[in-house]
Chain A
């Protein structure tokens, strides 16, 4: 009797999940359009509330986050807007609109951070890679990877010396390309999963240790992007691109 009851519960849960998904989809779409309508009418607070509900449904669509970032920006919430644009680019690094808006919003923050000097060829390559979507890089990697694997398989089955030599060279070249593509994919994954946070409060003092009685090393302001290096008892150890480092309360920043 017990297995039968468990099976019934499982079936019910599956049915519920299956029936809930389209409901969420339709509701989130309606909320999204409601938010868009409110935004177009200049009711940015209502728009932000609608987009936030969509996000709360668990629909991590970059367009929702992008529109939410725009609403925050219009409301003057610079830190929240930058956080949303950062999250959009994590989901879709090829979104030029989000990139432009992020650059524009970054121009309004009070902290001017000196980025480390990067040689031009590296910077150019980095710029190109940053605009490539992760999915595209993954698909290109898969194609090259399959080509290399196919050539290797053919090489294993080949008998003639000439044929084996041709297949051997082909497999080696394809293998190198596959390694390169894997490196680019790794870079994209690292970029997506790197630990960064945005300052959400107007200003926050960066201390020398994870408690409020430590020395104030420097101050950062809303919207500044920090690299997270460590976490301890409600404090984040953060660093800036210029290697300045310290601890901030975790409630003053929001992880991207």
Chain B
């Protein structure tokens, strides 16, 4: 919401050399005045002579209501001032500084003597009620620090019986006397001594007390006065909660009108005009607007009137204005209505009617009429499939005609035709609420026909690069559609892991592996058993062979004898080591015996006996009986020793 500027300010008409202090006694006599003037000259002379610099602080109201404001004026005065720094206001903790510092300089030359005053004015708002204190403020003047006196301010609760009346000085200042409509200002008071301050009033009025949301309500603030206004300003920046405010500019020179209230004639000025647009429904209130007005005070003192301009500052406040705001009808709201309220026309124009593929066309959509178009943001031109469309440049402007805000909003589009032929921009629609008729209205433009020729290079606009690709937008969401069952329905309540076949398939490998394990263990066990039995029978088998050899121990059966002895030895080793006797060579026998820990001497004896048998079997000479007997004994001894060593 825009805030309006403060109202026009009357330039103070203060003659040079005169002080518009706002102070003034009620009935000072000419003699007293002359004495005071003389004393002032004397003091000024002394001060000038002593280069005396003085500072002081004062407030315009020492008794204020809670939430009110008071002006603090810090003045530095002296014959000449030189460099003056602003006062250090960091010590003001019980007030909020809501305005200032406003600096003003005053220079006087009287009878060859000069005096200068620089004042800093602050607007203070108390933070609490009670007796508040503005502490002594320090100023740096020509490198020296001066301190003002502390100032006390009494703050009363708002609306309390103890709320202060106007301060005796300035006379006639009557802050509480509002100048709203129906409440004429009181013509003076006992303190005003019949001056003219009460004949000033400020009135706010609106053109309608009921309106629709978005409909313009024109606020006007008028100043009626019977006295000369020297200065005027708003106390606070005006705010209009619940409204969009547009300023209606006033002429530089305020127009003066003469009006008559009863028997009195007033000069009337328009201080402010605002076009207010309600943003919500219900009862909205335009808050009071406060003005501080400096007026010329009528003085019965001719000397004062002659030498000075007696002035005073008064406050006038308008009455709050309640306006009933109705919502827009919801039943007949057209699609695409974007909130415009007023009376509008629509125009759609193209900068040319003939174009080529890829040649840009400018299309303007212009909405004009009475009402506020600032809130209208919807794009009026729909998506056009045959044009590449860029984001429009939007411009808007407002003007005021007969206190009614008129707006114009222009959407400036650039369209690029994508295909040759006769292309049409469809009608553009704009809907608004006509507050006067109380209905929605829709205005539409006629369709625009654009003749699009092929491009300069014969481009028919079918190139993929020209297509304005955009992401596919999800407009709405819904559940997915139902399913069909062409293959029939199946009951799947029994899960696979509970099906007997699944359990059987899980158990089957377990059983198979368990069976295999059992089988292999049994087989290995049987093999081991057979090996042990053969090993156990090795000795007896060898003895049987040796017994057979003993039976053949005769010269005629020498070869058979030695064959039996050799076989007894070989088969013994084969049985002991569970191997075949046919594949046993000397080296193999040596390895086997060595691995089982047979003594080397026994192994050597074994081989010697075996070699002796082989020699006797295949040598041409025959052995004697004694030789065979020794061989038999040696074989028996070897077997005994091997049996012993292998068993160990």
Residue ranges of A at the interface with B (Cβ–Cβ < 8 Å):
25, 28-29, 32, 36, 39-40, 47, 54, 58-64, 66-67, 70-71, 73, 91-92, 97, 100-101, 104-105, 134-135, 138, 142, 145-146, 148-150, 152-153, 156-157, 185, 189, 192
Residue count of chain B within 8 Å CB distance of chain A: 29
In the bound complex, CA of A150 to CA of B517 (Å): 12
Minimum CB–CB distance from A102 to chain B (whole Å) comes to 9
6 pairs across A/B with beta carbons < 8 Å? A32-B489, A60-B491, A70-B481, A92-B492, A101-B479, A104-B479
Contact A138 B496 (CB under 8 A): yes
Is the CB–CB distance between A149 and B509 below 8 Å?
A: yes
A73 and B516 in contact (CB under 8 A), knowing A59-B489, A63-B489? no
Q: Is the CB of B491 within 8 A of A58?
A: yes
Contact A138 B502 (CB under 8 A): yes
Chain B contacts for A192, CB-based, 8 A: 495
Q: How far is the CA of A135 from the CA of B498 in the complex (A)?
A: 11
Of all chain A residues, the one with the shortest Cβ separation from B489 is A61
Asked whether B506 is an interface residue with its Cβ less than 8 Å from the other chain, the reply is: yes
Q: Which residues of A contact B482 (CB under 8 A)?
A: 36, 39-40, 47, 66-67, 70-71
Whether the Cβ atoms of B505 and A142 lie closer than 8 Å is: yes
Q: Does B500 contact A (CB under 8 A)?
A: no
Cβ-defined contact, A157 with B516, below 8 A: yes
Asked if B332 is at the interface of the complex by the 8 Å CB criterion, the answer is no
Distance in Å from the Cβ of A5 to the closest Cβ of chain B? 30
Which chain A residue lies CB-closest to B494? A60
Q: Are B496 and A67 in contact (CB under 8 A)?
A: no
- Whether B483 and A66, one on each chain, are in contact in the complex, defined by CB atoms closer than 8 angstroms, is yes
- Residues of chain B with a CB closer than 8 A to A189's CB: 495, 497
Q: Are A25 and B488 in contact (CB under 8 A)?
A: yes
A135 and B496 in contact, given A61-B489, A142-B505, A153-B513 (Cβ under 8 angstroms): yes
Minimum CB–CB distance for A165 against chain B, Å: 17
Having A142-B506, A153-B512, one finds 16 other A-B pairs with CB under 8 Å, namely A29-B485, A47-B482, A58-B493, A61-B492, A64-B489, A70-B480, A73-B479, A97-B480, A100-B479, A134-B495, A142-B502, A149-B509, A157-B516, A157-B520, A185-B497, A189-B497
Nearest CB of A to B223, in Å: 59
**Nearest B residue (CB) for A149:** B509
Chain B residues with Cβ below 8 Å from A153 are: 509, 512-513, 516
- CB pair B485–A63 under 8 Å, yes or no, is yes
Q: Is B491 within 8 A of A59, CB to CB?
A: yes
| Contact between chains at B509 and A97 (CB < 8 Å) | no
Does B513 contact A152, Cβ atoms closer than 8 Å?
yes
A54 to B520, CA, bound (A): 55
CB nearest neighbor in B for A193:
B495
Secondary structure type dominating chain B contacts: loop
Chain B residues with Cβ below 8 Å from A28 are 489
With an 8 A cutoff between CB atoms, is B484 at the interface? yes
Q: Is the CB of B512 within 8 A of A61?
A: no
Q: Write out the residue numbers on chain A whose beta carbons fall within 8 Å of the beta carbon of B510.
A: 149
Query: Shortest distance in angstroms between A150's beta carbon and chain B's nearest beta carbon?
Result: 8
Distance to closest chain B CB from A32 (angstroms): 6
Q: Is B49 an interface residue (CB 8 A)?
A: no
Residues of A within 8 A of B478 (CB): 104
A91 in contact with B492 given A156-B516, A157-B516, A185-B497 (CB within 8 Å): yes
Q: Are B483 and A67 in contact (CB under 8 A)?
A: yes
Question: Which chain A residue lies CB-closest to B484?
Answer: A36
A-side interface mostly: helix
For A66, the chain B residues whose CB sits under 8 A away are 482-483
Does B497 contact A134, Cβ atoms closer than 8 Å?
Answer: yes
By the criterion CB–CB under 8 Å, are A70 and B479 in contact? yes
- With CB as the reference atom, state the residue of chain B lying closest to A96: B480
State the CA gap A169–B510 with chains docked (Å). Answer: 19
4 smallest beta-carbon distances between A and B, as pairs: A149-B509, A60-B493, A67-B482, A61-B489
Q: Which residues of chain A are near B144, meaning CB under 8 Å?
A: none
- Tell me, rounded to whole Å, the shortest Cβ–Cβ distance linking B502 to chain A: 7
Tell whether, in the assembled complex, residue A97 and residue B483 are in contact, meaning their CB atoms are under 8 Å apart: yes
Contacts of B488 in A (CB 8 A): 25, 29
In the complex, whether B490 has a CB less than 8 A from a CB of chain A is: yes
B residues less than 8 Å from A156 (CB atoms)? 513, 516-517, 519-520
User: What residues on A are CB-neighbors of B502 within 8 Å?
Assistant: 138, 142
Is B588 interfacial (CB 8 A cutoff)? no
Q: Nearest chain A CB to B510's CB is how many angstroms away?
A: 7
Instruction: Find chain B residues with CB under 8 A from A134 CB.
Output: 495-497
Separation of A68 and B494 alpha carbons in the complex (Å):
20
Q: B492, A104: Cβ atoms under 8 Å?
A: no
CA gap between A3 and B489 in the complex, in Å: 38
Closest Cβ of chain A to B487, distance in Å, is: 10
Give the complex CA separation of A153 and B511 in angstroms: 11
Interface members, chain B 334-367 (any A CB < 8 Å): none
Bound complex: CA of A192 vs CA of B513, how far in Å? 31
- A193–chain B nearest beta-carbon distance, Å: 9
B644 within 8 A of A: no
Q: Which residue of B lies closest to A150 (CB)?
A: B509
Residues on A with C-beta less than 8 A from B513 are: 149, 152-153, 156
Closest chain B residue, CB of each to CB of A145: B509
Q: How far is the CA of A100 from the CA of B474 in the complex (A)?
A: 15
Minimum Cβ distance to chain A for residue B568 (Å): 32
Bound Cα distance A138, B495 (Å): 10
Set A32, A62, A67, A138: member contacting B492, Cβ < 8 A: A62
B519 / chain A contacts, CB cutoff of 8 Å: 156
A146-B509 contact, Cβ under 8 Å, with A63-B483, A70-B481: yes
Rounded to whole angstroms, the CA-CA distance of A67 and B479 in the bound complex is 11
Residues of B within 8 A of A97 (CB): 480, 483
Query: Closest residue of chain B to A104, judged by CB?
Result: B479
CB distance from B240 to the nearest CB of A (A): 39
CB of B470 closer than 8 Å to a CB of A: no
A46 to chain B, nearest CB (A): 13
- List the B residue with the shortest CB-CB distance to A97: B480
Closest A residue to B511 by beta carbon equals A149
Contacts of A36 in B (CB 8 A): 482, 484
B48, chain A: closest CB distance, angstroms: 81
Tell me how far the C-beta of B514 lies from the nearest C-beta in chain A, rounded to whole angstroms. Answer: 10
How far apart sit A36 and B480, CA to CA, in the bound complex (Å)?
14
A residues less than 8 Å from B490 (CB atoms): 59, 61
User: In the complex, which residues of chain B have a beta carbon less than 8 angstroms from the beta carbon of A25?
Assistant: 488-489
CA distance A192 to B493 in the complex (A): 11
Residue of B whose beta carbon sits closest to that of A61:
B489
